[in-house]
Structures are given as C-alpha cells and as structure tokens.
Amino acid sequence: MTWTRTILTGCGVLALVAYPWVFGSNYASNVGFLVLFTAYLGQTWNIAGGFAGQTSFGHVVFFGTGAYVSTILQATYGVNPWLAWPFAALAGAFVGWLIGVLAYRAGLKGSYFALITLAVAEVGRIAANSVPITKGGLGILLRADPRPANFQFTDPVWFYYLALALCLFSMLIAWRLKRTRFGARLAAIRENEDAAQALGIDSFREKVKCLTLSGALCGAGGTVYVQKYLYIDPSIAFGIDKSVEMLLVTMIGGAGTVAGPLIGSGVLQLVGEVTRDLGSMLPGVGNAQPLSIIVYGAVLIAIVAWLPDGLIGLFSKGGGKARHA
C-alpha cells in the first residue's frame, strides 16, 4: 500500500465518520445507513462472487436465515438481540457451508451454481411462508423498545455508525483476502479452477470455506435489518430483490475489488434517491414516478456501457482491478 493510498483511505474513513455531523439530519443518516448497509451486504456477496468467482443469485438466503434466527430467538424465546446476533451469523455460516458442500461436491459451477443458490432461497421463502415458527405470511413484528441494550435506537445515526462499522469490517476482510494465501488460492480458483487444482489447491475445501464466511457475514446483516425495521416477512427475508441488489452494487462498483461494493452502493443509492425525489416533484399525479425509475435503469446501463470494469475504473486505472487484469 502506497502512502497516497493510505492517506486517501484515511480521508475516506474520516469523511464517513464525519458525515452525520456535517449533514445533521436524520434523513441524511438514514440514506447513509442504506448506502453502508447495502455495501456491507454487497461485500458479503463479493467475497464469494467477486474474489472466488462463485456468482450467486440467491445470496438473500443467508440474510433471511440470519434475520429469522435472531428474530425468532428474540420474539419467541425472549433472548436479548445482542446475544441472538451471533446465532444469526452462525445460521448464515451453516447454510453457506451446507450449500457449498452439496453444490461443490456435485461439481456445480458458473450459472448452475448461481441458479442453485436461487433455488435454495426459493425453498427458504416457501418454507418461511408455510411453517408456524415463522408465523408464515403474517410476518414477525418486534416490539418497539428503543434502548441500546435492546439493539434498538431512536436516533438513525446509531444505525448509521453500526452499518459503518460493519461495512469497514467487511472491507477489512476483503482487503485481507487480497493479501493472504487463502485469498490467493481463491483468486487462483476464480481464474482457472483446473489449473489451481493442478497446483495442489484443494478447491472444494477453499470454496466451502469462502461460502461459509460469506454466509456468516450476510446472516449477521439480517439481524441488523430486523432491528432497524422491526418487522420481517418471507418475501422481505427471501425475496429475489435483495439478492439482485447485492450483486448489482458489487458488479456496478467493481466485483473482486475492496471498494467496489461501497462505491456501487453509494452511487446507486444516490441515483435512486435523486430520481425518486425528482419524480415526486414532476407535475401530474401518480404517473411520473415510473419515469424516475426508468432514468435509474438507464443510468445503470450507461455505467455498464462506459465503465465495463465498474465504477472503480474511474478511480484506479488498473490498480483496483482484480478480475480482468
């Protein structure tokens, strides 16, 4: 790491810490939360999809499992949410391990792997809709009891800092991945799995480890979501929207890079907020809002068209690229 990059990183972190002070509004904190939280979820996707080349269309399964585990522990069994939180991560890790063992033992790769994660998420959604422990389609409502000891905060700024901590933590893991042997083995598997195995890398083991890690982190994210919104139902927990969101922010930002998910999430969230806001100001009732999402979609296409390596291509010419060097 060069000095300039260290300084830039430091400035970036400082800016993120100072953000709520500068924009002293709950709205800004809330937008900031969404940016960082989505970036965090994106990074968990990136660890598998970007660094190890294990593209998934159903990453939400980890998120949903984690969300339900901590919420059920809390709402049904009265466990303190802080204590329940590690169990969410454990549950996510377990699902990641299970999918990994089954899918990789069967030798699933590429689109087949992506689609099997999607199928597992569907199983999760239908099961959550049908079994009593999740209260089915009724969803689970957490009692509002805003005390820090209860993992609930009135002031959105606390959720902002929580998301910031998670996001930085996940970036640190991603950064380590680029520098450890484990990360190097994953990169080798991503680039050419057969060659990696010929070099003596146990690709099955490494991939399962990677998916377990990704699942644990993503599962922990599920708890944060429910603590903030105090409600979870099967389509929020296992809907395809969140899977796509994780994949989208990462790929748009730059898959396989440390800063990619954060950049992607920041830009897409900003574009989303601005277009939605503009849409609500256009004259005429009701009809203008779809236009704003059309603009959002067009911006998305434009980014892909002009920045084939993701937004990170704007910041570092070659330096940040891991994928298509």
Partner 1 sequence: MPTSQILFAGLINGLMAGGIYVLVAVGLTLIYGVLHIINFAHGSLLMLAMYAVFLLWRKPLGLDPYAALPIVTAGAFALGYMLYRALIGHFSHGKDENILLITLGLSIVIDNAALFLFTGDTQTIDVAYAGRMISLGPALVALPKLVSFAAALVICLLLGLLMTRTDIGKAIRAVARERQGARLVGIDVERVMATSFGIGIACLGAAACLLMPTYYVSPSSGHAFVLIAFTIVALGGMGSFKGALLGGLLIGIVESIGGLWLGEQLGQIGIPLVFILILLLRPTGLFGAAR
Partner 2 sequence: MTQWKVRRQAVTRRGFIAGSAAAGVLGFPAVLRAQARTVRVGLIHPVTGFVAYSGQQSRIGAAMAIADANKAGGIKGMGGATLEAVLGDSQSKVEVGVSEVERMNEAGVAAYIGCFQSPVGIAASQAAAKYNTPFIIDVGASDLIVNRGLKNVFRLKPGFGKCVDDAVVALGEINRAAGSPAKSAVLVHESGEFGTGTAKLLAGKLPSIGIEAKELIPHDNPTRNMDNVALRIRGIQPDILIMSNYVNEYTLLARTLHQQRVNLVGMFSVLGGGFNYRLARDLPDVAENMMDYNHWFNPKSSKAQDLKRRVEATGALFTFEVYLTYNSVMLLVDALERAQSADKDKLIEALTASTWSTDIVPYGPTRFVNGQNEGGRAVGLQVQKADIVVVHPAEYASAAAVFPKPRYN
What is the binding site for partner 2 (CB under 8 A)? 20-28, 30-31, 34, 126, 129-130, 136-139, 141, 143-144, 146, 154-157, 229-231, 233, 235-236, 241, 270, 273-274, 276-281, 285-287, 289-290, 292-293
Specify whether the CB–CB gap between 239 and 125 falls below 8 A: yes
Q: Name the minimum Å distance from CB 134 to partner 1.
A: 13
DSSP 31-59: HHHHHHHHHHHHHHHHHHHTTS----S-T
According to DSSP, residue 232 is labeled E
Q: Residue 40 CB, nearest distance to partner 2 (Å)?
A: 14
Comparison of 19 and 85: residue with beta carbon closer to partner 2:
19
At its nearest, how many Å lie between partner 2 and the CB of residue 314? 18
Q: In the complex, what is the shortest distance from the CB of residue 275 to partner 2, in angstroms, rounded to a whole number?
A: 10
> What is the rounded CA–CA span in Å between residue 189 and residue 186?
5
Q: Which is nearer to partner 2, 32 or 313 (CB)?
A: 32
In terms of CB distance, is 122 or 273 closer to partner 1? Answer: 122
**CB closer to partner 1, 22 vs 285:** 285
Cβ proximity to partner 1, 112 vs 229, nearer residue: 112
Are 69 and 99 in contact, with CB atoms under 8 Å apart?
no
Query: Least separation, in Å, of the C-beta of 294 and partner 1?
Result: 5
Q: Would you list the DSSP string of 271-287?
A: HHHHHHHHHHHSSSSST
**Partner from partner 1, partner 2, none binding residue 280, C-beta < 5-8 Å depending on class:** partner 2
Taking the complex as a whole, how short is the minimal distance between the CB of residue 310 and partner 1, in angstroms?
A: 9
Distances (CA, A) of 313 to 6, 253, 257: 19, 9, 10
**Which residues of the chain form contacts with partner 1 (CB under 8 A)?**
55, 57, 102-103, 105-112, 114-116, 118-120, 122-123, 126-127, 129-130, 240, 244, 248, 251-252, 255, 287, 290-291, 293-294, 296-298, 300-301, 304-305, 308, 324
CB atoms closer than 10 angstroms to residue 316? 14
Choose the one of partner 2, partner 1, none that binds residue 149, judging by a C-beta under 5 to 8 angstroms depending on kind: none
3-state secondary structure labels for all residues of 58-112: CCHHHHHHHHHHHHHHHHCCCCCHHHHHHHHHHHHHHHHHHHHHHHHHCCCCHHH
Neighbours of 125 (CB within 10 A): 22
